[in-house]
């Protein structure tokens, strides 16, 4: 088992150690929830103040041109692209993940007129499943949504399936799907694949084009550190872009929005997957998060992420043996994202007690304590200290207080 000296040596040799200074984190907080809401880049406050004061306050509507507001969806898309193995002209930052899921699903249905099923796994993130249900309900019987257990996914791929919607890293367990193998298995059966990268973009290297991916969506506010409710992104492989007539045919996906025509004519390429006016304030803060990635490589991030997760598992299992914690994430790092979950029958109050002591993780039913490890701002020593605090909370039964049992609206 590693000692405090060991973990300090790991931090001293860490190529990412200086990145922590690029984030504002409160003193005394060990932040293990970057998989839910990334920390704030230090540049974000000044950048947003500038957008508010100067661009919006002084330049007003001229900013769409003079401050390049209208270009932001594509400019930011171009900054997401290298993180996910896409070309800049295959990614646009727009709308939300839920909306982008709907766009991708409806595109697949259109591209596969002789197929009717949209497929996903049971226990996928709820909005993904709900968007499937909504699309099926609105289709008047044309589309059927189907959920199968993870281990049955490949067998469920047949000639009735138009699209497989699959989340690369599971939000509860961090289980990581093999993108290459699943994409190939699906495409062998003529199925288009939509990868949801919410829990993997910015957390590990992704190479959509090496896997010949069709569509992908992902979140701006998790590992990309874009701020609460930051806009999402959508990737559409170049070969599909001009074959899709968007169902969510918003005016900013029009070829010439400022013609104000009565007739919708989709823009060429990825721009047709835009829908609404971009949220400029939110885009400005997301860009601060994205710019940090330009100064490092995803391979460094992945190497450290694996080390942090392995260290956490080692420390919890050694120092809290006999306290009722069961690993709910894969032990094998090759099939694990950048988070570690443990189940415990008192998971909810234990997480609240940890938060009270400055160790911020979160909780998902049933009994799942989730800890996200964000290599840009979490150190090995943070992991070591988090487990030390957990050990103290368990030894003193500090978690068993009435106010730690009361459920908040957001867990």
Ligand X SMILES: *Cc1c(COP(=O)(O)O)cnc(C)c1O
Q: Rounded to an integer, what distance in angstroms lies between the CA atom of residue 164 and that of residue 214?
A: 10
Nearer Cβ to ligand X (130/210):
130
Q: Which of 43, 63, 67, 97 binds ligand X (CB under 6 A)?
A: 97
What's the closest the beta carbon of residue 167 comes to ligand X, in angstroms? 4
Q: Write each residue from 203 to 232 as x if it is in contact with ligand X (CB under 6 A), else as -, in one continuous string.
A: ----------------x------------x
Strands 233-236 and 215-218, how do they pair?
antiparallel
Give the helix, strand, coil percentages of the chain, each rounded to 5: 45, 15, 40
Nearer Cβ to ligand X (123/190):
123
Q: Which of 157, 198, 224, 286 binds ligand X (CB under 6 A)?
A: 198
Nearer Cβ to ligand X (41/174):
174
Candidate segments 95-103, 173-181, 262-270, 347-355, binder of ligand X by CB under 6 A: 95-103
Q: Chain centroid to CA 278: how far?
A: 20
Q: Which of 70, 87, 98, 242 binds ligand X (CB under 6 A)?
A: 98
Nearer Cβ to ligand X (67/168):
168
127 contributes a contact to ligand X by CB under 6 A:
yes
Q: Which of 172, 199, 272, 336 binds ligand X (CB under 6 A)?
A: 199
Q: Rounded to an integer, what distance in angstroms lies between the CA atom of residue 266 and that of residue 53?
A: 34
Strands 233-236 and 362-364, how do they pair?
unpaired
Angle at 188 between CA 187 and CA 192, to 5 degrees: 20
Run of H or E residues at 300? helix 298-319
Q: Write each residue from 239 to 278 as x if it is in contact with ligand X (CB under 6 A), else as -, in one continuous string.
A: ----------------------------------------
What's the closest the beta carbon of residue 351 comes to ligand X, in angstroms? 18
196 contributes a contact to ligand X by CB under 6 A:
yes
Q: Rounded to an integer, what distance in angstroms lies between the CA atom of residue 194 and that of residue 217?
A: 7
Q: Rounded to an integer, what distance in angstroms lies between the CA atom of residue 173 and that of residue 198?
A: 14
Q: Rounded to an integer, what distance in angstroms lies between the CA atom of residue 129 and that of residue 98?
A: 10
Residues with a known catalytic role: 125, 196, 221-222, 370
Nearer Cβ to ligand X (213/393):
213
Candidate segments 16-24, 122-130, 333-341, 346-354, binder of ligand X by CB under 6 A: 122-130
- Integer angstrom CA distances of residue 243 from 138, 149, 263, 308: 22, 32, 18, 43
Strands 23-24 and 40-41, how do they pair?
antiparallel
Q: Write each residue from 53 to 92 as x if it is in contact with ligand X (CB under 6 A), else as -, in one continuous string.
A: ----------------------------------------
What's the closest the beta carbon of residue 232 comes to ligand X, in angstroms? 6
What's the closest the beta carbon of residue 36 comes to ligand X, in angstroms? 8
Q: Rounded to an integer, what distance in angstroms lies between the CA atom of residue 52 and that of residue 151?
A: 49
171 contributes a contact to ligand X by CB under 6 A:
yes
Q: For the chain, how far is it from start to end, CA to CA, in angstroms?
A: 32
Run of H or E residues at 295? none
Residue 67 main-chain phi, psi, to 5 deg: -100, 15
- Which residues of this chain interact with ligand X, rule CB under 6 A? 96-98, 125, 127-128, 167, 171, 196, 198-199, 219, 232
């Amino acid at each position: 088992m590693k000692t405090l000296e060991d973990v300090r040596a790991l931090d001293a040799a860490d190529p990412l150690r200086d990145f922590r200074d690029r984030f504002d984190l409160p003193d005394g907080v060990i932040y293990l929830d970057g998989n839910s809401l990334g920390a704030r880049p230090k540049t974000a406050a000044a950048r947003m103040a500038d957008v508010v004061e100067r661009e919006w306050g002084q330049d007003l509507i001229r900013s769409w041109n003079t401050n390049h507001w209208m270009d932001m969806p594509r400019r930011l898309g171009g900054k997401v692209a290298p993180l996910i193995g896409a070309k800049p002209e295959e990614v646009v930052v727009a709308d939300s993940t839920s909306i982008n899921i709907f766009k991708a699903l409806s595109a697949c249905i259109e591209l596969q007129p002789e197929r009717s099923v949209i497929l996903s796994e049971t226990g996928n993130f709820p909005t993904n499943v709900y968007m499937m249900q909504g699309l099926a309900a609105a289709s008047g019987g044309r589309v059927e949504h189907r959920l199968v257990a993870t281990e049955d996914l490949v067998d469920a791929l047949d000639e009735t399936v138009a699209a497989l919607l699959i989340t690369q890293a599971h939000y509860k367990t961090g289980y990581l799907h093999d993108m290459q193998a699943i994409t190939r298995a699906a495409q062998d059966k003529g199925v288009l694949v939509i990868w949801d990268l919410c829990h993997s973009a910015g957390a590990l290297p992704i190479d959509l084009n090496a896997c010949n991916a069709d569509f992908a969506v992902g979140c701006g506010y998790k590992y990309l550190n874009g701020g609460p409710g930051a806009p999402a992104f959508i990737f559409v492989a170049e070969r599909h872009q001009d074959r899709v007539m968007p169902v969510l045919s918003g005016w900013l996906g029009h070829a010439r929005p400022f013609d104000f025509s009565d007739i919708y004519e989709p823009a060429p390429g990825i721009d047709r997957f835009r829908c609404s006016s971009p949220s400029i304030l939110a885009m400005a803060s997301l860009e601060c998060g994205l710019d940090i990635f330009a100064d490092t490589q995803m391979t460094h991030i992945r190497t450290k992420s694996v080390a942090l997760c392995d260290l956490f598992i080692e420390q919890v299992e050694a120092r809290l043996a006999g306290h009722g914690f069961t690993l709910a994430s894969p032990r094998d790092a090759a099939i694990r994202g950048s988070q570690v979950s443990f189940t415990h029958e008192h998971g909810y109050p234990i997480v609240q007690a940890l938060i009270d002591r400055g160790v911020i993780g979160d909780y998902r039913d049933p009994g799942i304590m989730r800890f996200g490890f964000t290599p840009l701002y979490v150190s090995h020593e943070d992991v070591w200290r988090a487990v030390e605090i957990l050990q103290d909370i368990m030894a003193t039964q500090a978690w068993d207080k009435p106010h730690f049992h009361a459920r908040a609206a957001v867990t």
